[in-house]
């Protein structure tokens, strides 16, 4: 039976880790994810888990320790944010290339510089092509639930890729919300025991991990990673279906909020979806057919499914909480429009860069996006597709 509780997003993530009880957690503190290993270390000290907690000297070392533990046959987890993820960058790629299903809680924060400790998605977007599965979380409940599903997805024999669960720094990581927790015994049953087929400490099968991989094989190995990422989509849906049967909470590749009859729609990720839903409710009372596609699974990217979901709309806005600085829109916009183009869906689509460095995004801001979309529908003129939302101008 589910247990009703009030927790912050960081507490929810740490609680999920406690219930999973991984073999190794290696971490180095960085705002706003510091509380996750902090809370987890108290679980270790109190004997609530038998995890080997490794307090390392840097985030690079944290991921290195997780790689070593996972390669040796252990289940490993960690947490970080922003510059911490940047310091892990080399090891992030190594973890995925070695097909090690490490799970990480990424509390999204702006990457320096200049220094900023508040939420945007520049950290996650910086590693979007590193070969990690990436799940995004609107609220504390979704962050908790995504972590409960993470190991099942990452460790699946057809996947074997590391996975990060993202949530917005401070907005959800430090905000306390009502949440439904599952019983420890039920979580352990659902997650199961990690039983890798190949690992370093298996004396019956001596192997090398991380050897030199030159022209003869690297291409094929990268293609295998790509195929595993494709297969991850079906595995995510399978695990989500089993999770729903257990808890009653439904998750797909994305959530469609009043999208079925929408004429105008927004695509976004993480906590902004909550603000968009409030705005949609307000506009629906005024007779405006507004809708939302909240993306949960960013990698693998569900381009075909998104194109189908948006195909009936008359205009779409994609909101990016980071800027690719390429003069051609943000990363989410690029992926959405690519998916629509490849699948022959021609809907006028514009991009907004918003929320950089934690800039507040309110209902009025989201409402202005829908008004712009209504103008596009009425005039047929997109104008400049690359826009800012909430930017101060002289």
> Do residues 351 and 386 lie in contact, with contact meaning Cβ atoms separated by under 8 Å?
yes
- CA angle, 368 as apex, 343 and 264 as ends, to 5°? 30
Tell me the pLDDT tens digit for each residue of 299-334.
Answer: 999 999 999 999 999 999 999 999 999 999 999 999
CA dist 73 to 76, 200, 201, 302, Å? 9, 7, 7, 31
Mean pLDDT, the chain, as a whole number? 97
Predicted confidence at residue 1, as pLDDT, reads 79
Cα(189)–Cα(187) distance, integer angstroms: 5
Total Cβ atoms within 10 A of residue 345? 21
Which domains, and CATH codes, for the chain? Answer: 3-247 (3.40.50.970), 254-389 (3.40.50.920)
Is residue 274 within 8 Å of residue 139, measured between CB atoms? yes
User: Residue 276's closest CA among 349, 386, 373, 348?
Assistant: 373
Is a pLDDT exceeding 90 seen at residue 211?
Answer: no
CA 136, 139, 142, 144 dihedral sign is positive
**Of all residues in the chain, what percent carry a pLDDT higher than 70?**
100
Model confidence, pTM = 0.98
pLDDT in tens, 193-210: 999 999 999 999 999 998
Q: What's the confidence (pLDDT) of residue 260?
A: 98
Q: pLDDT at position 279, please?
A: 98
Which pLDDT does position 242 carry in this prediction? 98
pLDDT of residue 323: 97
pLDDT single digits (tens) 331-371: 999 999 999 999 999 999 999 999 999 999 999 999 999 99
Residue labelled with tokens 């929810």: 12
Q: Which pLDDT band, with edges at 50, 70 and 90, does 394 fall under?
A: low
117 has pLDDT over 80: yes
């Amino acid at each position: 039976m589910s247990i009703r509780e009030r927790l912050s997003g960081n507490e929810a993530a740490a609680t999920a880790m406690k219930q999973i009880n991984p073999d190794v957690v290696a971490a180095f503190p960085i705002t706003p994810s510091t509380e996750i290993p902090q809370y987890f270390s108290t679980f270790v000290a109190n004997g609530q888990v038998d995890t080997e907690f490794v307090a390392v000297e840097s985030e690079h070392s944290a991921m290195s320790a997780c790689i070593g533990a996972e390669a040796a046959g252990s289940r490993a987890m960690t947490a970080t944010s922003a510059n911490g993820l940047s310091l892990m960058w080399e090891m992030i790629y190594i973890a995925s290339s070695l097909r090690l299903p490490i799970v990480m809680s990424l509390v999204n924060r702006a990457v320096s510089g200049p220094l900023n400790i508040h939420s945007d998605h520049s950290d996650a977007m910086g590693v979007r092509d590193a070969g990690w599965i990436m799940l995004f979380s609107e609220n504390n409940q979704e962050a908790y639930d995504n972590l409960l599903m993470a190991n099942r997805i990452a460790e699946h024999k057809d996947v074997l890729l590391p996975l990060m669960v993202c949530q917005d720094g401070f907005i959800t990581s430090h905000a306390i919300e009502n949440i439904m927790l599952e019983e420890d015994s039920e979580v352990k049953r659902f997650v199961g025991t990690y039983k890798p087929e190949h690992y370093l400490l298996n004396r019956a099968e001596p192997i090398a991990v991380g050897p030199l991989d030159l022209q003869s094989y690297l291409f094929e190995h990268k293609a295998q990673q790509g195929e595993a990422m494709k297969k991850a989509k079906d595995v995510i849906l399978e695990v989500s279906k089993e999770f729903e049967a257990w808890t009653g909470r439904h998750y797909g590749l994305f959530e469609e909020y009043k999208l079925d009859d929408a004429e105008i729609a927004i695509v976004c990720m993480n906590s902004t979806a909550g603000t968009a839903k409030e705005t949609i409710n307000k506009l629906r009372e005024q007779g405006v057919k507004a809708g939302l596609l909240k993306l949960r699974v960013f990698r693998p990217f569900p381009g075909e499914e998104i194109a189908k979901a948006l195909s009936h709309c008359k205009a779409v806005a994609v909101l990016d909480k980071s800027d690719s600085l390429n003069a051609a829109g943000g990363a989410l916009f690029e992926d959405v429009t690519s998916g629509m183009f490849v699948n022959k869906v021609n809907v006028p689509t514009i991009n907004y860069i918003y929320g950089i460095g934690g800039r507040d995004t309110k209902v009025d801001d989201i409402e202005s996006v829908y008004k712009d979309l209504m103008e596009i529908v009425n005039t047929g003129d997109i104008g400049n597709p690359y826009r800012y939302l909430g930017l101060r101008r002289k």
